[in-house]
A = this chain, B = another copy of it.
Amino acid sequence: MASVPLNSRTDAILKRLVRRQADAPIRKVLAKSRPEDVAAAMEHLSPPQQRRLYGLIEEGEFAGEVMAELSDDAVRQITREMDQDSIVDLLEHMEPDDATDVVHVLPDELRMRVIAEMEGDQEHADALELLSWPSDSAGGIMSPLMFKMHGTATCGNAIATLQDRHEELESVFYLYITDDVDTLLGVVSMRQLLTHPANTPLVSVMTREVIAVGPRDDQEEVARYVARYDLLAVPVVDEGRKLLGIVTVDDVIDVIREEAAEDMLLMAGVHQDVQEMAGSPLQLARHRGGWLLATAAGGIMAEIITSAYAGGELNYEVLAGFIPVVMGMGGNVGIQSTTIAVRGLATGHVQLGGALAFVLREVQVGVLLGVVYGFLLGLYGFITGWPDPYVGITVGVSVVIAISLGSLLGSGLPVLLARMGQDPAVATGPFVTTGVDILGILVYFQVATLLVGAS
């Protein structure tokens, strides 16, 4: 039995050979590699290297399979220097849903020309239809290639069809049963086909309760269905339950991985593509610098608040030293609550219907943490601030309030964004920490001023 090459080895070998521009050995490695491994290796190369490596792959199915596995950014880099005819040729070697993904990232003008050229091609008319759905919807990720038969057929008919069209129906998971106008009636598994006599009508074998999604359903919603019910594929149907396509489990895995990464990166205020981008540090900095503007503006606001309290009757020298701990505690609890909220909304652990209870629970946790750490840090402030007793009280009270605010903003902001139909992850991290910083410092000096005034 042939041993399976470890993917990281293919990566390393290809990378080294591309750097040495050793075309002949590269061709040899390519001939023995899986397209998935070549695509993975490509992600670690610079755009010119990507184009060089891709140029060495023979035109045809393998090239299409590699392209299907690449990130949007790599597709963009590689197709940039391909002419229209090469692109059309490439697309014809790809499955319709994968081809659609490539067409999606082409520059507008080239996309139009490619679509115009392909419109005559009957086989790819379906692929172009897919373009009409948003790319993160069920319609956008579905494949129009599926195994469907009319309700009047038998198990034997189905097996004969599978034998005739075995090239096209390469990855078949289920057989869908439809009526004259393509309405979805039921579903039959491959195992059911195998275990019934050939003359059994499909309608008497099929499961009638089919879990289906609409073409406009969000891909995350589709992923949740597949994950919950352990499906291999889920049919996409319109309002009249007309069968439009299927979303398969391998695409769902990609969606789950993408969405998890997207949530984490968005939360930190990093544009999703940054991770995939093999761009220059300057490009990366430009992508990431945007959200930092909010942090910088917040910092300036904190400075304005702080300086307003300087030179007054407060023991400013001692008080200023505790700004970092008040900010740090509030910020970290804020990030904890934000993370739990964003992840919970994504997995369904937190539902919008019960969101108020969730925020309330987070605030309770925040108040508890605030009281414990407020007491400890207040005690330290009491000792440090001696003989000014108000420093310790100010630190203690401010830590309680900052941590409570952190849990409230951290859990509340994502829920609020979700309610407004926005992605709850969008830069919630920087916003929450900046918000907690400003409010925390305001509370801190205000409490100190009140205490000094009262004494």
Contacts and interface: CB of A to CB of B under 8 A. Distances in A.
Interface of A: 1-2, 4, 7-8, 11-12, 34, 36-37, 40, 43-44, 69, 159, 162-163, 166, 169-173, 184-186, 190-191, 193-195, 208-212, 225-230, 232, 241, 249-250, 252-254, 256-257, 260-261, 263-265, 267-270, 274-276, 281-282, 284-285, 288-289, 291-292, 295-296, 298-300, 302-304, 306-307, 310-311, 316-318, 320-329, 331-333, 335-336, 338-340, 342-344, 347-349, 351, 353-354, 361, 364-365, 368-369, 372-373, 376-377, 380, 384, 429-430, 433-434, 437, 441
A343 B31 CA distance: 31
A380 B339 CA distance: 33
A337 to B, nearest CB: 9
Given A172-B191, A252-B253, A307 B317 contact: yes
13 contacts: A4-B209, A44-B351, A226-B253, A227-B253, A232-B249, A252-B253, A268-B332, A275-B343, A289-B372, A296-B373, A296-B376, A299-B377, A335-B429
B270 A340 contact: yes
Contacts of A225: 7
Contacts of A304: 321
B365 A285 contact: yes
A412 B92 CA distance: 44
B284 A361 contact: yes
B349 A275 contact: yes
A182 to B, nearest CB: 14
A373 B268 CA distance: 18
A311 B315 CA distance: 12
B184 A162 contact: no
Given A232-B232, A269-B336, A300-B377, A365 B284 contact: yes
A250 B226 CA distance: 8
B322 A261 contact: no
Contacts of A430: 332
B43 A349 contact: yes
Contacts of A253: 226-227, 230, 249, 252-253, 256
A193 B368 CA distance: 62
A205 B181 CA distance: 38
A26 to B, nearest CB: 19
Nearest to A438: B324
A159 B194 contact: yes
A291 to B, nearest CB: 8
**Best-surrounded residue of A171, A324, A349 (most CB of chain B within 10 A):** A324
A299 to B, nearest CB: 3
B332 A269 contact: yes
Contacts of A186: 1
Contact of A288 (B208, B267, B369): B369
A324 B321 contact: no
Contacts of A441: 324
A203 to B, nearest CB: 11
Contacts of A331: 331, 433
A122 to B, nearest CB: 25
Nearest to A43: B349
Nearest to A211: B4
B310 A325 contact: no
B212 A191 contact: no
Given A298-B328, A369-B292, A265 B340 contact: yes
A292 B374 CA distance: 12
A342 B264 CA distance: 10
